[in-house]
């Protein structure tokens, strides 16, 4: 609204700049000849000065004086011929009208075609200071980054940011974040497995020695960690030890809970090892490689839509298999990241309800949500 | 704010359309009211463009990544100064700066042009309006800086690291003030052609504008040269790069224009030639804009590569150059020629100057465009570099420089070469002595070096001789001499300073090229190296972190006569956003000379490749440019004190009207 007021004022000002001179009276304008005469007089006096300084010889000065004199004379005869009275003509009136109309028409017409009047300015500082609930994923991440740049020893912050980086496919940042979280908040199977995943994805899905070390560290803390087991088997497959990989995956299938999200990933991996060439490195519980690639080529709106579809899918899965701790936490985080604070709160409520308000999981959920800035509704 | 800027830009375009048509029609029909529209519209157009530019600069300063141009050329971690200068560190923003300066000059004509004949003023503003309209349209159609992104990205792609330097704050604005300043001379020429007559006040107006434009262009080129010298880390100050040539050609033509405008102003001679030169100078400015902005060149400066833009600018180029030259061909015969003069006279000397300068411009033009033409026709890529210009441009400049001191000493209309030569005897003796001393006593001096030093001393001494002669040194008593000296017109000092500056620049170039030394070696921490009597000890490489880069800073201790004499540091910087490495050269100024070092690749064992240069007198190259600028400023100051100069003209003009019943 303010913009349109400003635009109208500017247009008015510009139109007045055209209109006022047209409406104003004609001042006593001097003929061109008067200006010339002034210059010639000045040239004469300058000639005297030059002569006094010896810049021109007296003989030549006389010649020059005569030249200037002749020009003044010529000016007199021309001047009379060129004096003409201003005559208002139809063309002039037409031109004046067209000019006054052109300013608003051209400017509003062109701006209508080119401008984005509804889009406010978005200086970065302002974007980072507004209510988190209205922020986009990128803005939230940037804000977290700014917070961590100021408090680099906030282990919890790194811990929260790391999986988000993974999801946003900023793998090198995820590696740094996981390393910092491990350094500051200590080892945990989830963190080590996440680190391994980040390293592997940063290398295009190849389970390198570094990644392998991280996964092994995760298994030392929690031998049943599905992610670490899955990726280690993947590493075997990548080394060409297909049989060992298949065996490891088979073993996983035996140990996994029937409703585990890893189940389908493992089955798919098994199927792919069976029919070469096997696709290397596939993040199991994330979008598949094709989807990731597609996402990179998408417009920001489309990408947002895709993320939202994925989150909705997760929500549906949890409605069917509600006893999935990690799933709930991922869902809450996703909603926070998407800027949907209400739905995050709702998810937290449902998660607590599934496990019972007094359960250990419920406390964990509440703490986790609080770290993301979400509090349960009473 | 961003959209307000966008709207202001569109509105400024609409006003430029009015400005190019209404005063023109008014001047043809003799309608005062229509002619009067030009002034207020030009001023308002400038105000709107300034608002638009401010809006863009604010978006840059505040990292508003919802603006596409900001997103592409800025980063939130950049220091504020580079965020702001980044406004014109890209194609879109720099074109906006271009029209900002164009409308600024147009507004100046509107405000201070009350003493101009009404029709001339109307026509000048109309031509300015045409140039403005063409460039506004170009910006809106192909290079709109206000295109928005929704949703806005959270981080930008960073400014080209080479441009993250104070040079960007100074070089482009100065250069554009120069380029665009010549547009006023162009508009005056075309206006005179449209009217079919050249008013006597024409030259009075064109000369100060030429001076202003020339002054800024000189500064812009000198600053650009120094920037390239320290930022690119090659230790060179001029590369005959097409982009450099693009700014050098208008400078050469502008220098010619400056001199022919003197003749026209003082003697009303050379009118038609001056007119043509004004057209050519601005055409070369446009050509320079085209070469840089269309991306037909691939060089350091070419950060625009979009064929649509190239074709658009080519159309503007054809329209303005072709149009004005056609107009010239049709109308030039109607213009009356002015005063007479003998071949040997001040006028004659200035004609000779013009002859040399325009020929030199032509050689640079050929050297710049030939490779492009060849590539377009045969597809073969050749590069025309220093050897070509040394063989063509050099021989043209030498005689010109040799006769420079004669010019100011010759009288108007009919001069006396013999008398001038006698007065220059002392300067000549000095130059000869300098030549002999250089040739005989400095090791390794070549004939070229001796000649060059002699020529430079000749220029400097010749410029001072002029001042001495005019204040009467040796012929009158010292008190009279002092009084005369103080009473000399400022323009005499201007001439002296400009010619002196030329001599200093030449001395710097010759000194650096002839006596400079260079070393490339691998150094480990603790090792020392000696170059032309200066000892440097490599202290080691130290990693450091800047706001948006990391760097390995190499520290070197300068040791003079066994004592530590300060540190020189040079760094290899890495800018992660653009994945670019730049070299920050280390420079230590010792007197007029500089010790210049830049880092190469580092080895695994802490060793690093170091390039060292000793550049004697190198600062004179740019110092001379500053002196030339000071000369131009001095000449400008002179104009204001005279009758007939813009600011003081109003009253006398009015008096003249009432006093002369013509």
Block residue for tokens 């392998």: A212
What's the confidence (pLDDT) of residue A233? Answer: 86
Query: A92-112, pLDDT tens digit by residue?
Result: 888 888 998 999 999 999 999
Torsion sign, CA atoms B361, B363, B366, B367:
negative
- Structural contact between residues B38 and B120, judged by C-beta atoms closer than 8 angstroms: no
Bridge partners of B575, per DSSP, are B580
User: Facing residues of B555 across strands?
Assistant: B540, B569
A287 pLDDT higher than 60 = no
Instruction: Read off the pLDDT of residues B193-234 as tens digits, 9 standing for 90 and up.
Output: 998 888 777 887 888 889 999 999 999 999 999 998 988 877
ipTM greater than 0.90: no
Ranges of each domain in chain B: 1-164, 167-410, 424-515, 517-615
Q: Which of A6, A10, A21 sits opposite B37 (nearest CB)?
A: A21
Residue A348 included in any domain: yes
Per-residue confidence (pLDDT) for residue A26, from 0 to 100: 56
Residues A322 and A260 in one domain: no
Residues A142, A220, single domain; the answer is: yes
Chain B, nearest residue to A14 by Cα: B44
Residue A199 has pLDDT above 90, yes or no: no
In a domain, A74, yes or no: no
Higher pLDDT, A65 or B180: B180
- The CATH number linked to A313 is 1.25.40
User: Taking Cα atoms as reference points, which of B23, B654, B196 lies closest to residue A34?
Assistant: B654
Q: Which residues contact B309 (CB under 8 A, 6 or more apart)?
A: B91, B138, B142, B143, B293, B294, B295
Average pLDDT for B249-264? 91
| Residue in chain B lying closest to A123 (CA) | B64
- Report the residue of chain B nearest A19, measured CA to CA: B37
Task: Please choose, from the candidates B155, B158, B120, B136, the residue with its C-alpha nearest in 3D space to the C-alpha of residue B24.
Answer: B120
Q: pLDDT-derived band of residue A378, with 50, 70 and 90 as boundaries?
A: very low
> Which pLDDT tens digit goes with each residue over B538-556?
888 888 888 888 888 989 9
State whether A269 and A293 are in the same domain: no
What is the DSSP annotation of A317-349? Answer: HHHHS---HHHHHHHHHHHHHTT-HHHHHHHHH
DSSP string covering B535-555, please? EEEEEEEEEEE-SS-EEEEEE
Which pLDDT value is given to residue B346? 84
Alpha helix stretches (DSSP H) within chain A: 2-23, 32-52, 58-82, 90-114, 124-129, 137-150, 155-167, 171-185, 189-202, 209-221, 226-238, 242-255, 262-274, 289-297, 300-320, 325-337, 341-355, 360-371
| CATH pick for B1-164 out of 3.50.50, 1.20.120, 3.90.1720, 1.10.3470 | 1.20.120
Best residue of B14, B49, B196 to probe chain A, by most A CBs closer than 10 Å? B14
Query: Residue B604: which pLDDT band, with cuts at 50, 70 and 90?
Result: confident
Inter-chain residue contact B653 with A38, CB threshold 8 Å: yes
For chain B, what percent of residues have pLDDT higher than 90?
A: 36
Q: What is the pLDDT of residues B474-504, one digit of tens each?
A: 777 888 888 888 878 888 899 999 999 999 9
User: Given a cut of 80, is residue B103 above it in pLDDT?
Assistant: yes
Where does the pLDDT of residue B658 fall: very low under 50, low under 70, confident under 90, or very high at 90 and above?
very low
Q: Higher pLDDT residue, A305 or A65?
A: A65
The H or E element containing residue B523 is strand B517-523
Q: What is the pLDDT of residue A376?
A: 60
Does A172 share its domain with A137? yes
- Report pLDDT for B249: 93
CB contact at 8 A, B285 and B321: no
Instruction: Tell if the CB–CB gap between B17 and A17 is shorter than 8 Å.
Output: no
- Portion of chain B with pLDDT greater than 70, in percent: 93
pLDDT number for residue B96: 95
Question: In what order do the strands lie in the sheet containing B608-615?
Answer: B517-523, B608-615, B593-602, B586-590
SS3 string, B415-446, reads: CCHHHHHHHCHHHHHHHHHHHHHHHHHCCCCC
DSSP single-letter state for residue A56: S
The nearest alpha carbon in chain A to B268 belongs to A68
Q: CB of B74 within 8 A of CB of B59?
A: no
Checking if the pLDDT of A159 tops 80, the result is: yes
B14 pLDDT higher than 90: yes
Which chain B residue has its CA at the smallest distance from A31's CA? B117
Chain A residues with CB under 8 Å of B652 CB are: 38
What's the pLDDT tens digit per position in A220-229?
A: 888 888 888 8
**Same-domain check for residues A312 and A257:** no
Residue A71 belongs to some domain of the structure: no
Q: How many CB pairs under 8 A join A and B?
A: 255
Categorize the per-residue pLDDT at B652 as very low, low, confident or very high, splitting at 50, 70 and 90: very low
Would you state the pLDDT for residue B137? 95
Asked if pLDDT for residue B386 goes beyond 60, the answer is yes
- For an interface test with A, the pick among B33, B103, B158, B202 (most A C-beta atoms closer than 10 Å) comes out as B33
A87:B18 CB<8 A:
no
Give the pLDDT band (50/70/90) at residue B296.
low
pLDDT band at B647 (very low <50, low <70, confident <90, very high): very low
**How far does CA B247 lie from the centroid of its chain?**
6
Residues A200 and A264 grouped into a single domain: yes
**Does A189 lie in the same domain as A156?**
yes
Domain identity same for A147 and A268: yes
Judged against a pLDDT cut of 60, whether residue A79 lies above it is answered with: no
The predicted structure's pLDDT at residue A76: 65
Q: How confident is the model at residue A25 (pLDDT cuts 50, 70, 90)?
A: low
Question: Which CATH number is A175's domain given?
Answer: 1.25.40.10
Chain A contact set for B644 (CB, 8 A)? 38-39, 42
A262 and A352, same domain (yes or no): no
Candidate from A370-374, B283-287, B440-444, B650-654 with smallest mean pLDDT: B650-654
Range of the domain at A179: 132-273
Per-residue pLDDT band for A298 (boundaries 50, 70, 90) equals low
pLDDT level of residue B560 (50, 70, 90 thresholds): confident
Bridge pairing between strands B608-615 and B517-523:
antiparallel
Has residue B660 got a pLDDT over 60? no
Question: Average model confidence (pLDDT) for chain A?
Answer: 78
pLDDT at B644 exceeding the cut of 70: no
Do the domain assignments include residue A8? no
Instruction: Assess whether pLDDT exceeds 70 at residue B388.
Output: yes
Sign of the CA dihedral running A113, A114, A115, A116: positive
Q: Is A223 on the interface with B (CB under 8 A)?
A: no
What per-residue confidence (pLDDT) applies to B301? Answer: 45
B531: helix, strand or coil: strand
A85 with A31: CB under 8 angstroms?
no
The residue of A116, A117, A338 whose CB has the most chain B CBs within 10 angstroms, and thus the best one to mutate to test that interface, is: A116
Mean pLDDT, chain B, whole residue set: 85
C-alpha span between A39 and A43 (Å, rounded): 6
Q: How many domains does chain A have?
A: 2
Tell which of A221, A245, A273 closes a domain: A273
Lowest-pLDDT choice from A218-227, B463-472, B602-611, B653-662: B653-662
Interval A131-156 mean pLDDT = 75
> Is A307 a member of any domain?
yes
pLDDT at residue number B656: 37
Residue B322 confidence (pLDDT): 93
- Residues A225 and A299 reside in one and the same domain: no
What is the separation, in whole angstroms, between the first and last Cα of chain B?
54
> Closest residue of B to A85, CA-based?
B30
- Predicted pLDDT of residue B110: 92
Q: Is a pLDDT exceeding 70 seen at residue A284? A: no
Distance linking the first and last C-alpha atoms of chain A: 40
- pLDDT grade for A32, boundaries at 50, 70 and 90: low
pLDDT tens per residue across span A37-55: 777 777 788 778 777 776 6
Residues of chain B contacting A79 with CB distance shorter than 8 Å: 662
The two tokens of residue B187 are: 């508009």
A259 in the same domain as A141: yes
Domain check: are A269 and A136 in the same one?
A: yes
User: What's the mean pLDDT in A292-318?
Assistant: 70
Q: Which two tokens stand for residue B413?
A: 């209309």
Domain boundary among A273, A307, A329: A273
| Cα–Cα distance for residue pair B352/B344, rounded to 1 Å | 10
The reply to whether A29 falls in a domain is no
Q: Is residue A62 part of a domain?
A: no
- Would you place residue A119 in the very low, low, confident or very high pLDDT band (cuts 50, 70, 90)? confident
Instruction: Render pLDDT for A231-247 as a digit per residue (tens, 0 to 9).
Output: 888 888 888 888 888 88
Upstream peptide bond of A277 is cis (omega within 30 degrees of 0): yes
* Range from A301-305, B257-261, B405-409 carrying the lowest mean pLDDT: A301-305
Task: List phi, psi (to 5°) of B654.
Answer: -65, -40
- Among candidates B252, B278, B253, which has minimal Cα distance to B264? B278
Yes or no, beta carbons of A33 and B662 under 8 Å apart: yes
What pLDDT digit, counting tens, does each position of B445-476 carry? 678 888 899 999 999 999 999 888 888 777 77
Give me the residues of A, 129-148, that contact B with CB < 8 A. Answer: 136, 138-139, 141-142
Question: B567 or A147: whose pLDDT is higher?
Answer: B567
In a domain? residue A226: yes
> Which of A242, A273, A304 is the last residue before a domain boundary?
A273
């Amino acid at each position: 609204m303010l913009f349109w007021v400003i635009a109208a004022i500017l247009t008015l000002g510009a139109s007045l700049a055209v209109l006022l001179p047209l409406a104003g009276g004609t001042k006593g304008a001097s003929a061109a000849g008067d200006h010339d005469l002034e210059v010639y007089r000045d040239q004469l006096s300058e000639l005297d000065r030059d002569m006094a300084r010896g810049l021109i010889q007296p003989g030549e000065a006389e010649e020059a004086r005569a030249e200037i004199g002749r020009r003044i004379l010529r000016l007199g005869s021309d001047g009379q011929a060129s004096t003409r009275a201003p005559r208002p003509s139809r063309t002039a009136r037409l031109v004046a009208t067209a000019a006054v109309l052109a300013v608003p028409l051209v400017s509003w017409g062109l701006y209508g075609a080119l401008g984005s009047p509804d889009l406010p300015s978005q200086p970065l500082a302002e974007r980072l200071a507004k209510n988190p609930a209205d922020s986009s994923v990128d803005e939230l991440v940037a804000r977290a980054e700014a917070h961590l740049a100021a408090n680099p020893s906030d282990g919890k912050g790194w811990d929260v940011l790391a999986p988000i980086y993974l999801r946003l496919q900023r793998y090198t940042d995820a590696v740094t974040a996981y390393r910092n979280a491990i350094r500051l908040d200590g080892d945990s199977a989830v963190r080590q497995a996440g680190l391994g995943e980040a390293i592997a994805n940063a290398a295009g899905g190849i389970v390198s020695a570094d990644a392998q070390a991280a996964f092994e560290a995760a298994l030392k803390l929690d031998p049943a960690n599905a992610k670490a087991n899955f990726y280690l088997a993947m590493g075997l497959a990548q080394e060409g030890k297909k049989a060992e990989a298949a065996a490891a995956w088979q073993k996983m299938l035996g140990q996994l809970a029937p409703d585990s999200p890893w189940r389908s990933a493992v089955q798919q991996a098994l199927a792919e090892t069976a029919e070469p060439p096997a696709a290397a490195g596939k993040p199991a519980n994330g979008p598949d490689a094709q989807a990731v690639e597609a996402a990179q080529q998408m417009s920001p709106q489309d990408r947002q839509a895709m993320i939202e579809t994925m989150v909705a899918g997760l929500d549906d899965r949890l409605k069917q298999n509600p006893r999935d701790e990690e799933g709930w936490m991922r869902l809450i985080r996703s909603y926070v990241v998407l800027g949907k604070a209400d739905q995050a709160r709702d998810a937290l409520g449902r998660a607590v309800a599934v496990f019972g308000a007094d359960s250990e999981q419920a406390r964990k959920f509440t703490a986790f949500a609080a770290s993301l800035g979400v509090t349960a509704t009473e | 704010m961003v959209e307000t800027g966008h709207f202001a830009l569109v509105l400024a375009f609409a006003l430029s359309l009015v400005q190019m048509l209404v005063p023109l029609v008014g001047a043809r029909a003799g309608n005062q009211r229509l002619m009067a529209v030009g002034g207020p519209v030009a001023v308002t157009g400038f105000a709107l463009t300034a608002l638009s530019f401010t809006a863009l600069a604010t978006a840059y300063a505040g990292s508003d990544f919802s603006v596409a141009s900001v997103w592409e050329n800025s980063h939130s971690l950049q220091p504020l100064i580079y965020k702001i200068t980044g406004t014109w560190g890209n194609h879109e923003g720099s074109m906006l700066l271009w029209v900002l300066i164009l409308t600024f000059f147009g507004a100046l004509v509107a405000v201070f042009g009350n003493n101009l004949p009404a029709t001339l003023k109307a026509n000048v503003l109309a031509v300015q309006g045409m140039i403005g309209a063409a460039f506004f349209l170009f910006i809106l159609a192909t290079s709109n800086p206000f295109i928005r992104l929704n949703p806005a990205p959270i981080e930008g792609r960073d400014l080209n690291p080479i441009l993250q330097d104070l040079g960007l704050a100074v070089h482009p604005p100065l250069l554009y003030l120069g380029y665009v300043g010549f547009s006023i001379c162009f508009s005056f020429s075309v206006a005179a052609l449209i009217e079919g007559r050249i008013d006597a006040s024409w030259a009075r107006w064109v000369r100060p504008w030429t001076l202003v434009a020339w002054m800024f262009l000189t500064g812009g080129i000198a600053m650009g040269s120094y920037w390239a010298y320290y930022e690119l880390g090659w230790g060179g100050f001029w590369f005959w790069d097409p982009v450099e040539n693009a700014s050098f050609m208008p400078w050469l033509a502008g220098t010619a224009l400056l001199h022919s405008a003197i003749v026209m102003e003082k003697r009303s001679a050379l009118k038609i030639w001056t007119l043509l030169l004004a057209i050519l100078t601005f055409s070369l400015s446009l050509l320079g804009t085209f070469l840089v902005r269309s991306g037909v060149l691939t060089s350091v400066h070419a950060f625009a590569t979009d064929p649509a833009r190239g074709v658009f600018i080519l159309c503007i180029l054809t329209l303005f150059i072709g149009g004005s030259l056609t107009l010239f061909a049709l109308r030039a015969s109607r213009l009356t020629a002015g005063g007479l003069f003998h071949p040997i006279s001040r006028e004659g000397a200035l004609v000779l100057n013009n002859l040399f300068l325009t020929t030199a411009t032509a050689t640079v033009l050929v050297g710049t465009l030939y490779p492009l033409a060849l590539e377009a026709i045969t597809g073969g890529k050749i590069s025309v570099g220093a050897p070509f210009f040394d063989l063509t441009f050099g021989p043209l400049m030498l005689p010109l420089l040799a006769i420079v001191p004669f010019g100011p000493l010759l009288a108007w209309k009919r001069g006396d070469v013999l008398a001038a030569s006698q007065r220059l005897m002392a300067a000549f003796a000095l130059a000869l002595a300098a030549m002999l001393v250089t040739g005989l006593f400095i090791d390794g001096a070549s004939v070229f070096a001796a000649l060059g030093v002699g020529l430079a001393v000749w220029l400097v001494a010749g410029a001072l001789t002029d001042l001495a002669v005019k204040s009467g040194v040796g012929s009158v008593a010292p008190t009279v001499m002092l009084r005369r000296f103080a009473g000399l017109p400022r323009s005499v000092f201007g001439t002296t300073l400009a010619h002196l500056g030329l001599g200093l620049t030449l001395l710097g170039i010759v000194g650096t090229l002839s006596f400079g030394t260079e070393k490339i070696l691998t150094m480990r921490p603790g090792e020392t190296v000696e170059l032309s009597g200066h000892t440097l000890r490599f202290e080691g490489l130290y990693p450091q972190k800047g706001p948006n880069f990391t760097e390995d800073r190499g520290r070197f201790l300068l040791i003079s006569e066994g004592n530590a004499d300060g540190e020189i540091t040079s760094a290899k910087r890495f800018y992660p956003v653009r994945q670019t490495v730049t070299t920050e050269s280390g420079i230590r100024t010792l007197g007029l000379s500089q010790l210049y070092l830049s880092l190469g690749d580092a080895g695994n064992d802490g060793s690093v490749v170091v390039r060292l240069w000793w550049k004697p007198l190198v600062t004179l190259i740019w110092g001379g440019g500053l002196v030339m600028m000071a000369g131009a400023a001095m000449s400008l100051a002179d104009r204001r004190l005279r009758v007939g100069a813009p600011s003081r003209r109003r009253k006398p003009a009015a008096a003249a009207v009432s006093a002369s019943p013509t």
